[in-house]
Structure 1
Amino acid sequence: MSSTATLSQPTPPTVDEQAAKRRKMDSGSSKVIGTHNGTFHCDEALAVYLLRLTETYAGAGLKRTRDPAVLATCDIVVDVGATYDPAAQRYDHHQRGFEEVFVYGGHNQVKLSSAGLVYKHFGKEIVQREVGSKVGEEGVERLWLKMYKEFIEAIDANDNGIPAYPSSQTPLYRSSTDLPSRVRHLNPAWNQPMTSTIQDSQFAKASELTGSEFLQRLHYYADAWLPAREIVVTALQSEASKSVDPAGRVLVFEGFAPWKEHLFEIEADLQQGEKKALYVLYPDETAGNWRIQAVPVSSESFESRKALPEVWRGVRDEELSKVSGIEGGIFVHASGFIGGNQTKEGVIQMAKKALEM
C-alpha cells in the first residue's frame, strides 16, 4: 500500500439507525404511553415518537385503547381522554373549549393537535438532545421554533381541519402524498382484517415514518439551514460588505449559501426599516466568476427592491462591458434580478454603479 493511501472511514449511522439504537438502549423503561385504538392519524403517531425521544419516555411502552380505566394506568396520554392537563400528563385536543396554540413571531392561528401539544411541551428538550451540542442554546431555541413552523404546524392544521386557503378558492389539484396522507394510507383498508394486533403493527410503522421524517428535517436545519443563517449574519457585519457600501445596501458572501429567507428574518429582527440590502454578491459555480443578485421585495417575490439598471438587461459579454463601462461582463438577466462578471471586483463595480443609477 502506498504511504499516501487514505484509509476508508466508517459510514456514520443514519438518523433512522441512531433512533433505533436509542430505542434499543432505552427499552428497559417502565413508562407507558397511552393513545386511542382503531383508525390512527399522523398527529398521535408523531406524538408517540416524539415522546420516546425525551429522557422521561425513552423506550416507553404503548397502550392503544379508549378504555378510561386502562388509560388511567398510563403515565402519559395523548389524543384521547378529553383532557389537556400538563401537570397530569394528559394531552388531548378534542374537548369543547380547547383553543391552545403555539405562538411564534406573533403567529398563532392554528389550534394544536396532539403532535403540537407534545412538541410545545417537550420539543425544546428533544431538539436539545438531538442537536444541542452542535448549535448551542440560541440555536436550540431557533430550531425549536423553525421545526414547529415548517413541520408540526401543517400536521396540527390537517388534524383540526383548518384549510390553508379560503374555502371560496377551488384548489387546482389534490395532494395525497403529504405526511398525514401517507400515515392515513397505512391504516388497514375497509375490506382487510381489522384485528388490534394488525392495527397496532401498522401504527408502529406510521409512528416510525413520522418520526424519521421529523429527525431528518431537524438534522437538515441544524446542519445546513442554521449554518447558512450564520453566513448571512456575518455578511451583514463584515468589513467586505461595508467597504462596498457603508450604508449596508450591498452584502458580500465569500461562498454561496441560501440567503433569502435568512436575510428577511434578520432584517425583521433588527427592525432596520428602510436600511435594507439591495444587492448580494457571491461566487458562482464557475470557478473565478461572480454574481450580483438583486434582493427581492419578499422571499417568494419576483419583484426586486432595486433591479439592475434597465440599460444592462438582456445584454451579454463584450456588449455588457461596453454599456456598463465595467470589464469582464458576462450577462444581466432580462428582468434585471441577477447578473454576472468574471471577477469579484467586477461585480463590486456593478453594485456601486447600480446603486447610483
Structure 2
Amino acid sequence: MIKKSIGIHDGAFHADEVTACALLVLFDLADGAKIVRTRNLQKLALCEYVCDVGGIYDPSSKRFDHHQIDYKGELSSAGMVLLYLLDQKKLDRAVYDFLNSSLIAGVDAHDNGRITPEFGVCNFSQVISNFVPVVYDAHVQDLAFHEAFTFVKGHLKRILERFCYIQTCREKVAQAMTLNQKYLFFEEAMPWMESFFELGGEKHPALFVIMPSLGHWKLRGIPPCMEKRMQVRLPLPEEWAGLLEEDLKKASAISGAIFCHKGRFISVWETKEDAFKALEYILKRSCYEHNIC
C-alpha cells in the first residue's frame, strides 16, 4: 500500500475524479504527487484511495466508484469523497453543506447525466472538461489532468477561504441587525448578505447597507431574499440612475456624489456622511411617497 496515494482511471478525465482528488489533497489525506492514473487493477490495489474506477464503493476501504450496477445512489466520486470527509470529521456539517450546495452536488449531477445543457451557460464540469486535450496521447493527457487538478484545488481553496471569512464576519452582521433599523452600517468592508439572510434577514426592516468601498463609501439596496439577490426592497431614485460625478451631484444635491448604477441598487459616495445624506433623502422620500417609515 502506497500511503496517501490516489488511484484514478487513465485517458480522458472528468470533473468528478479531478474534484475527488483535489478534496483528498486539500484536506491532507492524500499527496498530489502520488496520483496514479491507470485501469490496471494490480496497480490500483496498491493505492490508499481509489476514485471513479475499480467498481467498488466502500468508504471503509477508501474505494469511491459509482459506475457499478449495484450502486443505486446519485453521487459521483466527488460526492462520495465529500461525504467521506464529513464522516471522518475532516470537515463539519456547515462546511459540508456549503461545499455540496456551492459545487459538489452540481459535479455529481453533471457526471450522472442529471443536468440538461443550457444555452449560453457553462457550468463547472464543462470548464474542467475543456482541460481535456484533443490529442489522445497518454503523456499529454496526464499533463492536462494535473493542470486541471491544480485549477480545481485552487478553486476549492479559494471558496473555502471565502466561506470561513464570511463566518468570521457573522457576529458583526448579527450586531448590526440587533439595532433593527432601516439600514445596516459597517465601519469596514465585509461580506454580509449570506449571514444576513441566514440570521432571519427576510423579516428584518433594513432596506440599505452602508459600508466603506475602496476609499469611498457605498449605499447598497438590500434584496428581498437570497434567491432574489439581483433585486432590491427599495430602489435608489430613478433620476439618479446611471449618473456619474457632476451629474449625480446636481441630481442629488450632495457634493460627494460619485456614481449610481443604472440598475438603482448601488451608489458610491466620497464620505460616510455623504452616504448617510443619500440614505436620509431616500428614506424621507419613500416615507412620503410609499408610506415606508
Which protein is bigger by CA-based radius of gyration?
1
Indicate whether the TM-score tops 0.5: yes
Q: 1:304 aligns with which of 203, 214, 232?
A: 232
Q: 1:64 aligns with which of 38, 45, 51?
A: 38
| Aligned positions of 1:243-254 closer than 5 A | 246-254=179-187
Q: 2:221 aligns with which of 294, 308, 311?
A: 294
Corresponding residue for residue 130 of structure 2: 182
- TM-score normalized with structure 1 length: 0.61
Q: 1:250 Cα shift?
A: 1.0
Corresponding residue for residue 237 of structure 1: 175
1:33-68 Cα distance to aligned partner (Å, 9 max, x none): 44334444332244345445565544656362254x
Are 2:249 and 2:257, in contact at CA under 8 Å, matched by a contact in 1? yes
| Aligned positions of 1:136-147 closer than 5 A | 142-147=94-99
Q: 2:207 aligns with which of 275, 278, 284?
A: 278
Q: 2:248 aligns with which of 273, 296, 316?
A: 316
| Aligned positions of 1:106-125 closer than 5 A | 111-122=74-85
Paired with 1:42 and 1:127, the residues of 2 have a C-alpha distance of 22
Corresponding residue for residue 227 of structure 1: 165
Q: 1:171 aligns with which of 119, 130, 135?
A: 119
1:318–1:122 Cα change, 3 Å: same
CA RMSD of aligned residues (A): 4.0
1:232-264 Cα distance to aligned partner (Å, 9 max, x none): 6414414xx77xxx324311232334x3xx51x
Give secondary structure in 2 for the equivalent of 1:122: helix
Paired with 2:71 and 2:210, the residues of 1 have a C-alpha distance of 49
1:177-220 Cα distance to aligned partner (Å, 9 max, x none): 9443234327x43xx6xxxxxx2x44543442233223322332
- TM-score normalized with structure 2 length: 0.72
Give structure 2 stretches of 5+ with no counterpart. 287-293
Are 2:8 and 2:17, in contact at CA under 8 Å, matched by a contact in 1? yes
1:139-182 Cα distance to aligned partner (Å, 9 max, x none): x66444434444434432332222256xxxx6247789944323
Q: 2:146 aligned with 1:217, yes or no?
A: no
Paired with 1:34 and 1:218, the residues of 2 have a C-alpha distance of 20
Q: 1:123 Cα shift?
A: 6.8
1:118–1:341 Cα change, 3 Å: closer
Paired with 1:117 and 1:177, the residues of 2 have a C-alpha distance of 16
Q: 1:306 Cα shift?
A: 0.9
Task: Return the letter of the residue paired with 2:189.
Answer: F
Paired with 2:78 and 2:263, the residues of 1 have a C-alpha distance of 44
Task: Return the letter of the residue paired with 1:269.
Answer: E
Task: Return the letter of the residue paired with 1:347.
Answer: A
Q: 1:92 Cα shift?
A: 1.0
Are 2:201 and 2:225, in contact at CA under 8 Å, matched by a contact in 1? no
